[in-house]
Amino acid sequence: METTDVAVVGAGPTGLMLATELALAGVRCRVLERRTETPNTTRAFAVHARTLELLDARGMADELLPRGVPVRAISPTPGATIDLGEIDSRYPMLLIVPQSGTEQVLERRAREAGVVIVRGAEVTGLRQDILHVVLQLADGTEETARYAVGCDGAHSRVRDLLGVPFTGTEYATHILLADVRLDAPPPEAMFAETSAAGAVIVIPFGDGWFRAIAWDRQREQVPLTEPLPMDEVRDAFVRVAGTDFGMLEQRWSTRFLSERRQAAQYRVGRVLLAGDAAHVHSPLGGQGMNTGIGDAVNLGWKLGAMVHGWAPAWLLESYATERHRVGAQVLALTDAFTNLVLGYSRVRKVLQSAAVRTIVRVPPARRALLGRLTGIGIAYPAARGSHPWTGRRAPDVVCGSRRLYELLRDGRFVLVDASALGLAAEAVADAAVVRTTRATPTTRRPDVLLVRPDGYVAWAGEDTPELADQARAAVARWCGTEMRVA
Ligand SMILES: Cc1cc2nc3c(=O)[nH]c(=O)nc-3n(C[C@H](O)[C@H](O)[C@H](O)COP(=O)(O)OP(=O)(O)OC[C@H]3O[C@@H](n4cnc5c(N)ncnc54)[C@H](O)[C@@H]3O)c2cc1C
């Protein structure tokens, strides 16, 4: 007899986001977390535009925005600045907010939605059959669920227990991380500087504390176990950037070894992997937490559909296909950034920097880079012959008095109908899975969009005589329900 529908292992941002998604889908969910306390240190601080849109699609973006500092332009290499205002999003920014702040918003939502978060629950064993997954905990008890998801971070026990290889390598340079107070902070919301001595970044937490990050050529091989005093951080800043910004006080510091690895499989039977358990990479580009939240939003509704029994056979597997591809793209992007900033070959760095400046000058190339960095450009593969919009991120279409991303907040598919036929006027058989809405016709997008609960286009159609049949087929394929169209 199962204790829950889905057991989520790990209460980091990925596990908490997944838990809120499962609760929204009406699925019983227990989060098993090894730690007894929430951590007071932070790793991620950059929340990208697509993540803000996904949080908006669940009504959480407005809660997160006041906790952060918006950055409106970024500079991937000296002499090249990209204005984030160029992206077609409600959130044309990079929001600097401590990971703990994002986790607080997610945890509150999860608890409000009835998720049980069990702290002090360390998963040590796992077995599964065709109906259940049994997780063994360090205290000798067991949890039985219909599905389990390992959101247990880079050193995932779940991944090890499944025997899934975590393929990749580690970077040579140790990163210095410190939370400091500054007497003379930089004027920019995000300061970055590189030189022959290394690279440094300063990010404000908004409460008087700053995250100082340094890649120091002289100190890159100091053992990770050696304490990191503030003087060492200060020295790295002076050599790389010519200033320590008046470093006054340090509350936390560590040396960090970054890796570039991806799980060979995201799914083994009834157990799935998400977040850092599935992919780790350089922190440059601020992609890790964002990708984990993206995994969770892709997976939640699909698992919900499995538990409720309306999922088509291929749906759960599509999580692995879609998100493994995104993970591989993120590894490639962050690796390119890392080589650009920290590469040893001077000639290669000069050439790469020139290439980035060219990319930034050419609008289509710049938009492509922005799309990958902000997550706005993430799209899922579509079947051959599909409408070109299939798999793309759905824009925030105005639907009468509301926006599409407001309509998505109850976790259903949305059929956005701007066709002359008026499909939306017709009843959809299973209103628990899909809702319909009218939108104003425009040449800028297809006449009808079937938008998945995670804000991606499942199907798109144009006003042709076949439209009603095509829409009916798409709803049957994706939503497992019949749509009655006159
Ligand atoms: C220096 C640095 C800067 C970064 N900056 C950014 C950034 O700006 N933007 C960004 O998007 N990302 C950034 N990242 C990456 C980001 O921090 C991670 O990608 C993110 O924390 C991953 O979330 P997660 O929930 O998948 O895993 P985690 O946050 O690692 O959470 C995993 C959870 O699982 C629990 N757990 C582990 N094992 C078990 C077990 N056996 N049983 C039960 N529970 C278990 C852990 O206690 C933990 O709470 C940065 C990382 C670093 C190191």
394 CA distance to ligand 1 centroid (A)? 28
72 CB-side CA count, 13 A: 3
Taking CA atoms, 129 is separated from 22, 48, 135, 314, in Å, by 22, 39, 12, 20
CATH topology of domain 398-479: Glutaredoxin (3.40.30)
Q: Tell which atom from ligand 1 comes closest to the C-alpha of 277.
A: 26
Which residue out of 36, 152, 261 has the highest number of ligand 1 atoms within 8 Å of its CB and is therefore the one to mutate?
A: 152
Cα 104 to ligand 1 centroid, rounded to whole Å: 14
What's the 11 CA to ligand 1 centre distance in angstroms? 9
Burial class of residue 123 in the structure, from the number of CB atoms within 10 Å of its CB (0-12 exposed, 13-18 middle, 19+ buried): buried
CATH architecture of 4-45+99-165+264-342: 3-Layer(bba) Sandwich (3.50)
**Over the stretch 388-442, which tens digit does the pLDDT of each residue have?**
999 999 999 999 899 999 999 999 999 999 988 777 655 565 666 888 888 988 9
Cα 418 from Cα 407, distance rounded (Å): 16
pTM comes to 0.94
- Contact of 372 with 329, CB cutoff 8 Å: yes
Per-residue pLDDT in tens (0 to 9) along the chain, 486 residues: 668 999 999 999 999 999 999 999 999 999 999 999 876 667 888 999 999 999 999 999 999 999 998 999 887 666 778 889 999 999 999 999 989 899 999 999 999 999 999 999 999 999 999 999 999 999 999 999 999 999 999 999 999 999 999 999 998 888 999 999 999 999 887 888 888 888 899 988 888 899 999 999 888 889 999 999 999 999 999 999 999 999 999 999 999 888 999 999 999 999 999 999 999 999 888 899 999 999 999 999 999 999 999 898 899 999 999 999 999 999 999 998 887 777 666 666 666 667 777 777 788 888 888 999 999 999 999 999 999 999 999 999 999 899 999 999 999 999 999 988 777 655 565 666 888 888 988 989 999 999 999 999 999 999 998 998 899 899 889 988 777 654
Residue-wise pLDDT for 291-327, tens only, equals 999 999 999 999 999 999 989 889 999 999 999 999 9
**Pair 399, 437: CB distance under 8 Å:** yes
Question: How much distance in Å is there from the Cα of 257 to the middle of ligand 1?
Answer: 14
Among 248, 244, 231, 258, residue whose Cα is nearest residue 193: 244
Q: Which of 45, 99, 330 should be mutated for ligand 1, with most atoms under 8 A from CB?
A: 99
Pocket of ligand 1 (CB under 6 A): 9-15, 32-35, 43-46, 99, 122-123, 151-153, 157, 177, 256, 275-276, 283, 286-290, 292
Domain ranges for the chain, please list them: 4-45+99-165+264-342, 169-259, 398-479
Select from 3.30.70.2450, 2.40.30.10, 3.40.50.2000, 3.40.50.970 the CATH code of 169-259.
Answer: 3.30.70.2450
The Cα 451–Cα 231 span in angstroms is 53
Residue whose Cα lies nearest atom 27 of ligand 1: it is 153
